[in-house]
Structure 1
């Protein structure tokens, strides 16, 4: 049997170093949320895209970024996270590189509607980086003891979530100076540099490193405990996903997150188009309003998490969806720029507060399958970012310029449904969960 001394020499990295690496990796990966939003107007002018086509285009990165969260997040329990993290970022490089090649060789004279499927394909690949969230949650969780996980994961998710807002500001500045293709080239360079930093800083937790060095499972667990690791992977990830799916409460939580976080992703991509089409806002005004929405909604999650601990997740969720409902009604009916800005602020605060509250409710309502439930909620809930923009585009195409505002009726409907589901969960909170007890990984849920 190997000694603990030899085990220490076999396991590299540290908790803080790996947290920094995962945060950098998630930050550059999550920036793909804004892959097309700030540049959509350029494609519209050159390729003569319809509102429906634009809606699908800006939503495409969300499709892969949402669906891949579930399998890649589960893969962490098998190898520690570094390999799936790198694969997702490399796929994103291929997607952004493909867009750069198209723009370099075709834009603007030869870029036509016939190239639209290629934009969708490269957008889907670029969006793979969004799925790094679930991988990083697992990788960070295994490094930190339980009493320090909340702070570590808040740092990880909080900084990473600011990426779309910053991209919405910086990317147009670069494009204004050097052109569209330069913007994507710089994006490509940043992602490649981020991958390099992740390779250097991101380490799997000691247990996974020791297993890779050939140590037996029980021996590696004991040695990793001696190195300070407290959390270890579940014996059956598939069982945790199946059992969480059999709890009816999982699916209202998915729907709630579909509205709040999926809706947030959708608006991050759609708002530049909305402000330009509805109020003839300048390019920079539209992007500034979009970036403000993204940053406000992301930052409000920190205090909203504390409010959920203090007042209860249901109360904060209900209040947040009320704000979302009021803001969506204002934006759907308003013809005033100032009133619509106020509506955007209410929507941002409502979505951010609801995002924090929903993940507070996950362990409360499905305590026997927290890891599996968090996977379903985070993965399927984020699909709202893919589903909603094409609907908004269809309404705009059907109704004309006024349809860009009327499209917020979609959020009115989602907010009302979310209020009803929140009330349903609250009134049934005392009844037992129907999930079977399973041994899930002891990850602390985090608000992505």
Structure 2
């Protein structure tokens, strides 16, 4: 029997695996910005209501969010590369169908009868968003416990800047290549990104060793000697069931629904908010939303390291207070500079909290990291689909002022999030106190 890692054909390193996952997530997450910069064009071409438009622009978040649950858990069986590629493949199918519809029907032949087809292909194109929970597990398996915040901060932060970059670029592409040509160009970029992930990615050592015939226990021992600290426990279904029975999973789901789902919702909704409420041009709105998205994403990188140092609960509590302050400002102003500042405040708070929450997953639920990541990433991101139609309904009920008052919903969710963070903190403090007491006391 081989005695060391040198006796096996092992591929990959933690840095390379992190690079691959980040590239894959970057191109998968870009689908969030697929429709939002062009929302008014689709609304006009198909004669849609504000609520229907809200559903359409958030469609890419729908399927990709829900698929995070089973695909994230599936990582416990194979390490992540296979589910990652399947999700990106589904995104390619969706983007191909969406682009074909535009080529065939836009603008003169588009009407409301095409709405279901556009919705379905837009939803499929968003399957790439589902790679997030897969990449969280894949990255967690590669990195030691004391570097989880950093690694996941880089992965989530850099990957999440894609919607911001494309929100900014798409209006420019519209002017350069035309409306349909811009989506053809994006389809080509998606193919390039998927190819890059395919070439660079590799599953963690434990999974590679198992595929080369090692017994589970031996593979675990060899991988641990090489530096791997986090391993799957049981089957994917067992991981989902086990994590679902742990109340902390649902506390983290709630927080992520608000901050990451809410973040995705703003990426899709803010272009409409700027154009319809504040009278900003499409290209300027794209730039403002792009800065918001990039800033809110990149702040996850230092936030992950901060969470490693001061604790996830403390970091999350600070972030919720920041979101609450920004939401209250946005709810009562009608000024482009102040609105831009307010969105940056909200984006900062959301980005910090996103990093803090996933820093807590391996710590709070080490026995079912993949299953918990699936629930948190999937149901959390689902907020990106749920919230834009609610904003649209608020506008229909209240008129233009509803664009601003809708941000009170974020203030309410931030307050609820503070309660969840406090509950987690109290629970951990109680456990530490009990463990520190002498036996028999």
Normalising by structure 2, report the TM-score: 0.89
2-structure distance, mates of 1:81, 1:119: 30
2-structure distance, mates of 1:421, 1:183: 42
Partner of residue 120, structure 2: 121
* Pairwise CA distance, 1:43: 0.8
1-structure distance, mates of 2:207, 2:315: 38
Higher mean C-alpha deviation, range 371-380 or range 285-294: 371-380
Higher mean C-alpha deviation, range 77-86 or range 233-242: 233-242
* Pairwise CA distance, 1:84: 0.9
**Pairing 1:154-193 to 2, within 5 Å after superposition:** 154-193=153-192
* Pairwise CA distance, 1:282: 0.6
In the TM superposition, what whole-angstrom CA distance separates every residue of 1:284-341 from its partner, at most 9, and x where no partner exists? 1111111111111112223333443444433332332222122212222212333322
Q: 1:390 to 1:47 in 2, by over 3 A?
A: same
CA contact (8 A) 2:29 2:128 kept: yes
Q: 1:305 to 1:226 in 2, by over 3 A?
A: closer
2-structure distance, mates of 1:326, 1:285: 25
1-structure distance, mates of 2:52, 2:68: 25
1-structure distance, mates of 2:294, 2:224: 39
* Pairwise CA distance, 1:3: 6.5
2-structure distance, mates of 1:352, 1:57: 25
Where in structure 2 are there 5+ consecutive unaligned residues? 433-441
Partner of residue 130, structure 1: 129
Q: 1:232 to 1:312 in 2, by over 3 A?
A: closer
CA contact (8 A) 1:12 1:203 kept: yes
Q: Is structure 2 residue 201 aligned with structure 1 residue 195?
A: no
CA contact (8 A) 1:7 1:210 kept: no
Q: 1:316 to 1:5 in 2, by over 3 A?
A: closer
1-structure distance, mates of 2:101, 2:42: 12
1-structure distance, mates of 2:372, 2:59: 25
CA contact (8 A) 2:145 2:362 kept: no
1-structure distance, mates of 2:74, 2:64: 15
Partner of residue 408, structure 2: 409
2-structure distance, mates of 1:72, 1:128: 11
**Pairing 1:173-252 to 2, within 5 Å after superposition:** 173-218=172-217, 220-221=219-220, 224=223, 229-252=228-251
Partner of residue 80, structure 1: 79
Aligned length: 432
1-structure distance, mates of 2:352, 2:287: 22
2-structure distance, mates of 1:176, 1:284: 9
Q: 1:258 to 1:150 in 2, by over 3 A?
A: closer
Higher mean C-alpha deviation, range 91-100 or range 230-239: 230-239
CA contact (8 A) 1:293 1:348 kept: yes
Partner of residue 400, structure 1: 399
* Pairwise CA distance, 1:242: 2.2
Q: Is structure 2 residue 284 aligned with structure 1 residue 288?
A: no
Partner of residue 348, structure 2: 349
* Pairwise CA distance, 1:37: 1.0
2-structure distance, mates of 1:423, 1:5: 44
2-structure distance, mates of 1:364, 1:204: 22
Partner of residue 439, structure 1: none
Partner of residue 36, structure 1: 35
Alignment partner of 2:401: what SS?
Answer: helix
* Pairwise CA distance, 1:151: 4.1
Alignment partner of 1:420: what SS?
Answer: helix
Q: Is structure 2 residue 115 aligned with structure 1 residue 106?
A: no
2-structure distance, mates of 1:47, 1:16: 46
Q: 1:13 to 1:345 in 2, by over 3 A?
A: closer
Q: 1:43 to 1:232 in 2, by over 3 A?
A: same
In the TM superposition, what whole-angstrom CA distance separates every residue of 1:199-255 from its partner, at most 9, and x where no partner exists? 221122343334334454445445555666554322344333323322333323221
Higher mean C-alpha deviation, range 266-275 or range 413-422: 413-422
Partner of residue 444, structure 1: none
* Pairwise CA distance, 1:149: 5.0
Report the RMSD for the aligned CA atoms in angstroms: 2.5
1-structure distance, mates of 2:309, 2:219: 39
Partner of residue 44, structure 2: 45
Higher mean C-alpha deviation, range 283-292 or range 246-255: 246-255
* Pairwise CA distance, 1:194: 1.4
2-structure distance, mates of 1:305, 1:76: 22
2-structure distance, mates of 1:404, 1:103: 29
